[in-house]
Structure 1
Amino acid sequence: MEWLRRWRLQPDGDAFETATSVLTPVLLADGKPGMLKVARVAEEIRGGAVLAAWNGHGAARVLAAEGAALLLERATGTRSLVRFVESGCDDEATRVLCEAAVTLHAASDDLLFADAGALDAPELVPLRVWFRELLNRADGTRATVAGSDPGFVRRAAAIARELLDGEDTGPQEVVALHGDIHHGNVLDFGERDWLAIDPKGLVGDRAFDYCNLLCNPSHERALEPGRLERQFAVAADASGLAPDRLARWLVAWCGLSSVWFAIDGDAAHTASAAAIGKRALALLR
């Protein structure tokens, strides 16, 4: 691979693939561990630019970047937030995820006020654009996706529209968002503690970044009796968000997630995302 040669890297394990990237554990020229990530889609390239802009503040450091290739510091710690949940430390995992979001949001100015003409200025996607599939289907611009719950989709879209329309005048705090904080995207980096990886690179109300973690590490776990309500309370406390505001964003996120799963033909997750959203409706005051 040309990147191994160009950056003087040695493979340190088998490469593996995701739907959007090819990743290879490597050793740098000085023997330190790294992770070579080669993106397959534009969204991943944008995420790499966001990681670079965070400059290691709450996120994995970018050691080198060119085109679709990204060289990152590697998570070498042994702790796992998924295992935290499995071992009964669900509350602690949620607090770690919330702390990760708080840390990233504190560095927002570096992304929001970067020189737009700079080559390394990250592109951030507004939440209104991110939510377009939900909004378009609810207002009739596009047909309802087969398998989705039309009633819930309409309710979630109405709440999303209210939130998005109030971004400049409501209680929202607009920040650079990770966009996909969950138990598999905040890893143990040893001495550097917990750090985020794989951002989507969005911009909007900070409350949005606390929603996906409540639907993870799996929908089945999120739907266990009392689990959503308890972790919702933990997240509201750790984030300092008003519970009603967080609940509204959670409903909106579940609506969007359900529509995305329906578009992908995933009937089970279409239904479970909607089920989480309906439980979130009960949290509204």
Structure 2
Amino acid sequence: MTDLHDFAPSIPDAFREVVQGRPAEPKVGGDDWLAHLPAQVAELADEWDLVADGPVWHGVCAVVIPCHRDREPVVLKVSWPHEEARLEHLALQSWAGQGAVRLLAADPARWAMLLEPLVHDRNLDAPELLEACEVIGGLMRRLDRPATPQFTRLSDEIDRWIPLCRNGSPLVPRRLTEQAASLLADLRDGCDGRLIHQDLHFQNVLAARREPWLAIDPKPLSGEWAFAVAPVLWNRWDEASAAYNLRAHLRLRLGLVSEAAGIDEDRARSWSFVRLVTNAIWEAEEPHPGNAELSRWIAAAKTMTE
């Protein structure tokens, strides 16, 4: 059991390595944020009457601390401040535990949430792939509801991505970037209005006690669910790369999710192509782009073309 007033030694080294040296986003740099994190956790523990129950977990952008409050198990999540997590609490509040982890309390100013406990070491990487795709599609159907005005609109992202694709990169085939720019203009109509989880992949679905599977880490957006299929294609990549026919394999994933979610498969394919191409461009813009990563984005994007 960890005393949350002496939290500094419990910050995982792997998490420190991810955050250290990050530029200020939006107001504090990674080193300063890490230095203040123990005091912040102690303050939250006092305000929410928390006692730590076990080792700290972490993702890429947050630490997660199993606790109890009044003998009830809870989880404290504190996120590195970044735009995609800014309205996570509002999305979870809207879903109210229906298909997603239940929000118990939130402190947006400190990027902190109190959540129901899930089975943190059991996600959709374990089940058979086709079953996992159907689970994700079913969760999309359950999470679907109107987005409130606070959320970023997908059409606003289109305004940024069209020039990105038109400018392209020497490392990404021009025919792909031009096709992506053209598709983005066509996809604009009707793309806003639903509250979506834009990072709903196998590791962002955990087993739960009250339901078999619940979504976590939503990165919410006012958009359409066809946009949200793409992460299912680029995760569990070892299985995709080992497939005899990559196109058939990824198209099968896309079809299963689309059918289970009740969304248009052609539109999901178009959005997935766009997201794969923009990922390739962003990778190519890195100071030292990873050849394997870049090849993966390009190969996957080509499978979404006719």
TM-score, normalisation: structure 1: 0.81
**Are 1:210 and 2:232 an aligned pair?**
no
Deviation digits for residues 174-195 of structure 1 (CA, Å, limit 9, x no counterpart):
4111111100111111222211
Structure 2: gaps (5+ residues):
1-41
Which residue of 1 is the match for residue 115 of structure 2?
72
Tell me if 1:32 matches 2:56.
no
Indicate conservation of the 8 Å contact 2:199/2:219, yes or no. yes
List structure 1 runs of 4+ shifted beyond 4 angstroms: none
SS at match of 2:172: coil
Q: 1:246 aligns with which of 249, 268, 277?
A: 268
In 2: Cα distance, 1:30 partner to 1:70 partner:
18
Q: How has the CA–CA distance of structure 1 residues 25 and 148 changed in structure 2, closer, same or farther, with 3 Å as cutoff?
A: farther
| Equivalent residues of 2:123, 2:204 under 8 A apart | no
Task: Kindly state the Cα deviation for residue 47 of structure 1 after the two structures are TM-superposed.
Answer: 1.7
1:149 & 1:35 partners in 2: Cα distance? 44
Q: How many residue pairs are counted as aligned between the two chains?
A: 257
Q: Residue 239 of structure 2 aligns to which amino acid in structure 1? A: R
SS in 2 for 1:191: coil
What SS does the corresponding residue of 1:49 show, helix, strand or coil? helix
Contact 2:172 2:281 in 1 (8 A): yes
Alignment TM-score, normalising by the size of structure 2: 0.76
Letter of the 1:185 partner, please give it. Answer: N
Q: Contact (CA 8 Å) 1:134, 1:255: kept in 2 or not?
A: no
Residue 72 of structure 1: how far off its partner (Å): 0.9
Contact preservation (8 Å) 1:124, 1:201 = yes
Give the match for residue 291 of structure 2: 267
Cross-structure match for 1:195? 214
Relative to 1, partners in 2 of residues 1:241 and 1:24: Cα closer, same or farther, differing over 3 Å? same
In the TM superposition, what are the counterparts of 1:1-285 in structure 2 within 5 Å? 1-66=42-107, 67=109, 68-76=111-119, 79-84=122-127, 89-105=128-144, 108-109=145-146, 111-112=147-148, 123-140=150-167, 144-145=168-169, 147-164=171-188, 166-167=189-190, 174-218=193-237, 220-223=238-241, 224=243, 225=245, 226-264=248-286, 265-282=289-306
Question: What's the % identity of the aligned pairs?
Answer: 24
On the 8 A contact 1:28/1:34 being kept in 2, the answer is: no
CA RMSD between the two structures: 2.3
Q: Which runs of 5+ in 1 are unaligned?
A: 117-122
Distance in structure 2 (CA, Å) of the matches to 1:266 and 1:134 = 21
Q: Is the 8 A contact 2:225 2:263 kept in 1?
A: no
